[in-house]
Amino acid sequence: MTKATKAPATKPCNICDGKDLGPGPGGRMSYDGVSSPRCTACQSLERHRAFRSVFNQLKDHSFKNAKVLQFSTDRSNDARWFSSHEISEYEGDNPLDLQNIDRPNESYDIVVCNHVIEHVADDRAAMRELVRTAKDSGFVFLSFPDPLRLDKTNEWGYPDDTQHGHYRLYGKDVRQKFKEELPGVHVFAVTGTDPCTGSTEGLWLITASDKRAEWIQQQVPNAQRIDTGNKDQNPSERTNPTKATIKNPSTIMGRLLSPPAKPSRELAPNDNMGASNLDRYFTVGRDAMRVIGSAINRPGAQIPESVLDFACGWGRVARHLRASFPDAQMVCADVWKDAVDFTSKAFDAEPMQLSTDPNEYEITTKFDLIWCGSLITHLPEDRARRVIDMFANALNPNGVAVFTTHGRSVRHRKANNIYSYSVDDASTAIESFDNNKYGFAPYKGETNYGFSLTPMNWIVNEILQRPDMTQVQYSERAWDDHQDVVAIQRRSTTEPHRPITT
């Protein structure tokens, strides 16, 4: 796709009156392949301005008294229009679950949900919840990609990283879902137009009120009413419905990225990672769930019943593991006693105090899943090998161990002084890595703890020495776009791989 450059808009931005457009995310152009999509003044994109064009039609004197709930921030409306404007941001200060909104029935005059519902596992529950929390006299403003451009919804049942973490891509057949989940509720299909590029975006206006439905048709001329059938026989089921039941995600990726429980936000007083940048702390922890999912989400895979967080620290990842697998036996292990005490108590796990010498590790319990982030990245070769041995011995049949290493990207960053990694001279480690050998540079005052570089060939050769193990993943820069991720699996049979003969 040709990279967009700064250019004047056809018409001023309807959000800020800006007149210049620039490249979109990744340098993309607008849908017409010619226009630049992003307003350089307010940073809005096509959909924000298209939704604003519809809100501008809806806006009247009633807005000044309206109580609004909005899922995720966008520029479709202006908080100054309303008497109150509550924002719910995922993993933010007010992280409401769209599938089970923690608010009473009919709490809001307007509920706004733009490009969020495609990120949840149970969108049917989310539809019911949006309508439940909106007043019958109010309305829901709902949008998602890409009902104007597809006929049939593509459902894949898990948040696909190649599709921006969406569970699905909607088509025009979403109308059937509205009919099944919102019988008798007025649903309108609306097309909004971006004045700057002419791009169109689809959205839905939903209300339980006959009077509000008439108002929508008067305010928005292109609103097309969708037939959702007859109302429930028992009116109380519409006016005071029970909360939608959240279905526990059946897929492993669903469990990991849309967990049955919310990750705990309790931090230990000594957790310097969380204290320094809380948003990044939770983002990196959650990203571990993505890489774990890609390693264990294989045909026939089962939800892990036993989990080990090895080198757990203060629970950056443990809190997400517990939320994803609330019924699993979980063990948190580390050399820091205070960290083990905190994580085991906070996340309902068994504590495991480790020695600083991996040769003294003794683990008798077997696990379906082992996670180890940022440990081998600090160990010399012999100790790294010992840790991998321990993982191999501690796995149940078909169990998977996922651990991280430093690879080519880190080698480049250190060699070019982009990041220090707390070592002054890593030239010997870099030289070893460049020769396909394990590289290590100790921290000042340390012998067996420091900065390591692990070539892919070293990993492969180590796994080849263990006939009961299979390497199922090696992904460069997979965790936090930084550390490499390795996954190994204990084979269900100990029969070694046989050489290929002709």
Domain co-membership, 98 together with 9: no
Domain co-membership, 34 together with 58: no
Phi and psi based region of residue 313 (left: phi greater than 0; alpha: psi -120 to 50; beta: remaining): left
Domain co-membership, 82 together with 13: no
Residue 180 domain boundaries: 46-239
DSSP string, 250-275: SSHHHHHHS-SSPPP----TT-HHHH
Is the pLDDT at 4 greater than 80? The verdict is: no
Domain co-membership, 130 together with 188: yes
In a domain, 356, yes or no: no
Residue burial 391-410, b: 16+ Cβ < 10 Å; e: rest? bbebbbebbbbbbbbbbeeb
In a domain, 87, yes or no: yes
Residue 319: partners with Cβ closer than 8 Å, 6 or more residues away: 263, 264, 265, 266, 285, 346, 347
Q: How confident is the model at residue 9 (pLDDT cuts 50, 70, 90)?
A: low
Domain co-membership, 182 together with 162: yes
Cα separation, 351 vs 281, in Å, equals: 22
End-of-domain residue from the set 188, 208, 239: 239
Q: How confident is the model at residue 235 (pLDDT cuts 50, 70, 90)?
A: very low
In a domain, 352, yes or no: no
pTM for this entry:
0.55
End-of-domain residue from the set 189, 213, 239: 239
Domain co-membership, 88 together with 197: yes
Cα separation, 164 vs 457, in Å, equals: 31
pLDDT computed for residue 392 by the predictor: 93
Domain co-membership, 29 together with 50: no
pLDDT digits (tens, 9 = 90+) for 76-113: 999 999 999 999 987 677 888 898 898 999 999 999 99
pLDDT digits (tens, 9 = 90+) for 446-460: 999 999 999 999 999
Domain co-membership, 119 together with 207: yes
Domain co-membership, 33 together with 71: no
pLDDT computed for residue 299 by the predictor: 61
Domain co-membership, 76 together with 164: yes
Task: Give the mean pLDDT of 138-148.
Answer: 89
Cα separation, 316 vs 281, in Å, equals: 7
DSSP string, 348-393: T-EEEE--SSGGG----S-EEEEEE-SSGGGS-HHHHHHHHHHHHH
Place of tokens 């049939």: 152
Is the pLDDT at 162 greater than 80? The verdict is: no
Is the pLDDT at 240 greater than 70? The verdict is: no
Closest by CA position to 121, among listed 72, 74, 160, 70: 160
In a domain, 480, yes or no: no
In a domain, 18, yes or no: yes
pLDDT digits (tens, 9 = 90+) for 289-336: 989 988 887 665 788 999 999 999 999 999 999 999 999 999 999 999
In a domain, 158, yes or no: yes
CB 77 within 8 Å of CB 44: no
Domain co-membership, 112 together with 204: yes
Comparing 167-181, 376-390, 433-447, which segment has the lowest mean pLDDT? 167-181
Structure tokens at 258: 């849309």
In a domain, 459, yes or no: no
Cα separation, 46 vs 192, in Å, equals: 10
How buried is residue 436: exposed, middle or buried, by Cβ count under 10 Å (0-12/13-18/19+)? Answer: exposed
Phi and psi based region of residue 115 (left: phi greater than 0; alpha: psi -120 to 50; beta: remaining): left
End-of-domain residue from the set 186, 213, 239: 239
pLDDT computed for residue 499 by the predictor: 43
**Among the ranges 51-55, 361-365, 397-401, 498-502, which has the highest mean pLDDT value?**
51-55
Residue 293: CB atoms within 10 Å: 22
Is the pLDDT at 496 greater than 70? The verdict is: no
Is the pLDDT at 237 greater than 50? The verdict is: no
Report in angstroms the alpha-carbon separations of 178 from 54, 145, 241.
Answer: 21, 16, 16
pLDDT computed for residue 305 by the predictor: 94
- Residue 160 or 126, more confident: 126
Domains identified in the chain, total number: 2
pLDDT computed for residue 328 by the predictor: 95
Cα separation, 98 vs 71, in Å, equals: 8
In a domain, 304, yes or no: no
For all residues of the chain together, what is the average pLDDT? 87
> E strands along 115-217, which residues?
134-143, 154-160, 166-169, 186-193, 200-207
CATH for 158? 3.40.50
Domain co-membership, 30 together with 56: no
Cα separation, 287 vs 331, in Å, equals: 20
